[in-house]
Amino acid sequence: MRGTASRSLPGWAGRDDGPGDEHLRWHHVVQRWDDTAEPGACAFVGFRSDEGVRRNKGRRGAAQGPDALRRALASMALPSPQRVFDAGDVEVTAGDLESGQRELGRVVTGLLDAGQLPVVLGGGHEVAFGSYLGLVNSEPVVRGARIGVLNLDAHFDLRADPIPSSGTPFRQMAERERARGADFRYAVLGISQPSNTAELFATADSLGVRYLTDDRCGVFDRPLVDGFLDEFLDRCDLVHLTIDLDVLPAAAAPGVSAPAAFGVPVETVEHACRRVAASGKLALCDVAELNPDLDIDSRTARTAARLVHRVLTEPTRNGEPR
């Protein structure tokens, strides 16, 4: 089950051990997106932006993240055939972040309404608001489905800055949810206390945000993490999973704008991804803050690819494999 167009797609090239499903890797199955495709697949979208990081006074370079993530994922071996598409990139140009986010939202809405699972490859964490715009305008949400946003992140990203940035996406979501008369169901796993001011904690509390700090997310804290995830999943119908790679320890993810001095173990982050994927509620996933210019031996890109791989090789909606 090989994608006939995979070798002509930018970034999707890799090792080939021979014909047959027993040798499948991601680059074998990825096909160019066609809106006539039947529902039930996943579709990658790149968001080439570090404008939000620049505005947030971070280290730029995340605009190259989508290319690096595709390269890292391409040669990973698949346990079984997958139906996978690549819808190309949305690029932020001339500093116009807001237009880029709206365009990303338009693309994501189209994929969701076509019955696909969008996986957005960032880009700074401003990608999350563009992804959210796509979900909130999709048919299931318009019909009343409850959105839940699960952020794997060292930061709340709830800043009240007048100019949107990588530090504001979830504050923007809260305002949008309030405007449409919906509850803001936002949970964060991996919050670093030294990386968030008392004002940000107060904002989170005022918005009803659930969170677990990084020092309560160790490999021996699995029951606490599972309880946190189960409570979140019980409160929503559709999940927007957003992964900011700076949630991970710097040894696993050096290639981010703000490497973590402590961080959440890869095992815990991967477990959270698997649990959400297996819930049958995952509607959308994005990955943020991969900065190849700051990476070491492609360590961050490989870790990010492993997390995407895990999300997409778990049982998905309705308990059926994709």
| Averaged pLDDT of the chain | 94
Model pLDDT for residues 130-171, shown as the tens digit of each residue: 999 999 999 999 999 999 999 999 999 999 999 999 999 999
Annotated binding-site positions = 125, 153, 155, 157, 244, 246
Question: Residues with Cβ < 8 Å from 71, sequence gap 6 or more?
Answer: 11, 298, 301
Q: What is the pLDDT of residue 41?
A: 94
**pLDDT of 305 above 60:** yes
Q: What is the pLDDT of residues 241-257, one digit of tens each?
A: 999 999 999 999 999 99
Annotated binding-site ranges for Mn(2+): 125, 153, 155, 157, 244, 246
Amino acid at 237: D
Confidence of residue 55 (pLDDT cuts 50, 70, 90): very high
Q: How confident is the model at residue 37 (pLDDT cuts 50, 70, 90)?
A: confident
Q: Mind listing the pLDDT tens digit for each residue in 171-198? A: 999 999 999 999 999 999 999 999 999 9
Element (H, E) at 227: helix 222-234
User: In b/e form, how buried is each residue of 133-148, taking b as 16+ CB within 10 angstroms?
Assistant: bbbbbbeebeeeeebb
Which residues touch 232 (CB under 8 Å, ≥6 apart)? 148, 150, 185, 187, 210
Distances (CA, A) of 167 to 94, 126, 200: 20, 7, 11
Closest-CA residue to 306 (of 284, 290, 319): 290
**Please, which pLDDT band fits residue 315 given cuts at 50, 70 and 90?**
low
Mean pLDDT over 69-96 rounds to 96
Which residues, in sequence order, are CB contacts of 227 under 8 Å at separation 6+? none
Positive or negative, the CA dihedral 116, 244, 149, 164 is negative
Residue that is written with structure tokens 């959308």 in the block: 284
Lowest mean per-residue pLDDT among 58-62, 240-244, 310-314, 317-321: 317-321
Residues above pLDDT 90, as percent of the chain: 92
Quick one: pLDDT at residue 36?
Answer: 87
Mean pLDDT confidence for 32-42: 91
- Checking if the pLDDT of 1 tops 70, the result is no
Determine the Cα–Cα distance for residues 136 and 198; give it in Å rounded to an integer: 30
User: Which domains occur in the chain, in start order?
Assistant: 6-319 (3.40.800.10)
User: Which range, of 7-16, 38-47, 131-140, averages the lowest pLDDT?
Assistant: 7-16
Strand segments (E) across 195-290: 210-213, 238-244, 282-288
Which tokens go with 136?
């909130």
> What is the model's pTM?
0.95
Portion of the chain with pLDDT greater than 70, in percent: 95
